[in-house]
Amino acid sequence: MTPFEVNWTREAIDKVLAQVRAYEFPPAPEGGGWGYGCDADFLKALCAYWTDGFDVAAAQANLNRFPQFTTTIEDLDIHFVHVVGEAGGKRPLLISHGWPGSHFEFWDAIEPLAFPSRHGGDPADAFDLVIPSLPGFGFSGKPKRPLGQRATARIFDTLMTQVLGYPTYLAQGGDWGGLVTSWLGLDHAAHVKAIHLNMIGLRPAGPPTTPEEIAWITDFGAQMDAYGAYFRLQASKPQSVAWLGASNPVGQAAWILERFHDWADLSTKPFERVFTRDQLLTNLMLYVMTGGFTTGAWYYRAMLEEGGPVLAQGQRCETPTAFANFPGESIYKPPPRSWADRAYNITRWTDQPRGGHFAAMEEPGLFVDDVRGWARDLLTP
């Protein structure tokens, strides 16, 4: 383990900001808003703030708030946050992010999860937190070819058990992190006591069998037709989007911001109030400054090369599984319970009052409360 701090050079920062300033915005359909992609007015305003208002030094200081390390596993450098909380090593929790998020998604949840007494909570609810960057993302190493979620689960299990020395642990994840966590529960049940998801990743063998399952998978197909072009491109020809985005921070911003907009819960407040500009830009810089935009796109193709998330006939993740349903999900709405039960040993299902795809970032309080409640349930006979 090597201690790690974010240390972007002034030269590298200035290069990115110069590219943003020099960007020539193409025409956008009048009145198109977000309907044709990233909203032009929002993107222009964010880029103006990026170059003239965003405090990169403050963002770096924020990214360095918590202890971080790198270690080498299977010839790949893995970056991770490691916060030993009030649990003092007794309640390790591995949290995995997805795309186009990052380890920064969980920044507002770390303190309450690790040190609940500082936030009016019970010290008995504290965790040791381990929050890695997925291979190819952020400050983790970049694989030479696509490396998928099942392989990531194997690497993260090694991180927890061999590098950090936790014989058993809990795991949580959403988006790709939900699939990584699911593979942890399936393949590494000897070490993983229970898992918590805010997106269902694995699929049972066989077709839908009830009217509710048929309706759900039909709606999922319709949502993918409307909003899933990004997925089909990155799962088939990810290098195509890499060529477009390389050395183009504004293009990367547009591609990523569209997902944050379309996947957030906008039912009670506008996009501009769901995330701050500093949050969006800090997360974006973790792609722009590290080359993660390219290898992050590869992660989709890697899923197919690993064989996909469909289980074999009779196979199920028997590790106790909790699911937190945040209602603002757009594409990735949860399946009917009957479908989920065929893929997982569901022991807890909670319906949240609000929040979308980026649960810990959008609603950190609800996220923390549900994770705490799940861990308490595990101790209840």
- Return the domain boundaries, the chain: 2-379
DSSP H helices, the chain, are: 10-22, 40-52, 56-63, 107-114, 149-158, 176-187, 211-227, 229-236, 238-245, 249-263, 271-274, 277-288, 292-306, 337-343, 359-362, 364-379
Residues 6 or more apart whose CB falls under 8 angstroms from that of 257 comprise: 38, 42, 43, 46, 280, 284
Query: Under CATH, what is the fold of the domain 2-379?
Result: Rossmann fold (3.40.50)
Locate tokens 């008995």: which residue? Answer: 124
Give the number of residues written for the chain: 381
User: What's the one-letter identity of residue 26?
Assistant: P
Residues involved in catalysis: 175, 300, 357
pLDDT in tens, the chain (381 residues): 999 999 999 999 999 999 999 999 999 999 999 999 999 999 999 999 999 999 999 999 999 999 999 999 999 999 999 999 998 888 999 999 999 999 999 999 999 999 999 999 999 999 999 999 999 999 999 999 999 999 999 999 999 999 999 999 999 999 999 999 999 999 999 999 999 999 999 999 999 999 999 999 999 999 999 999 999 999 999 999 999 999 999 999 999 999 999 999 999 999 999 999 999 999 999 999 999 999 999 999 999 999 999 999 999 999 999 999 999 998 999 999 999 999 999 999 999 999 999 999 999 999 999 999 999 999 764
With contact defined as beta carbons under 8 Å apart, do 177 and 98 qualify? yes
Give me the long-range contacts of 305-309 (CB less than 8 A, separation at least 24).
Answer: 305/146, 305/148, 306/148, 306/149, 306/150, 306/151, 309/149, 309/179, 309/182, 309/201, 309/202, 309/203
Residues 6 or more apart whose CB falls under 8 angstroms from that of 361 comprise: 101, 105, 106, 107, 108, 275, 279
- The pTM is what? 0.97
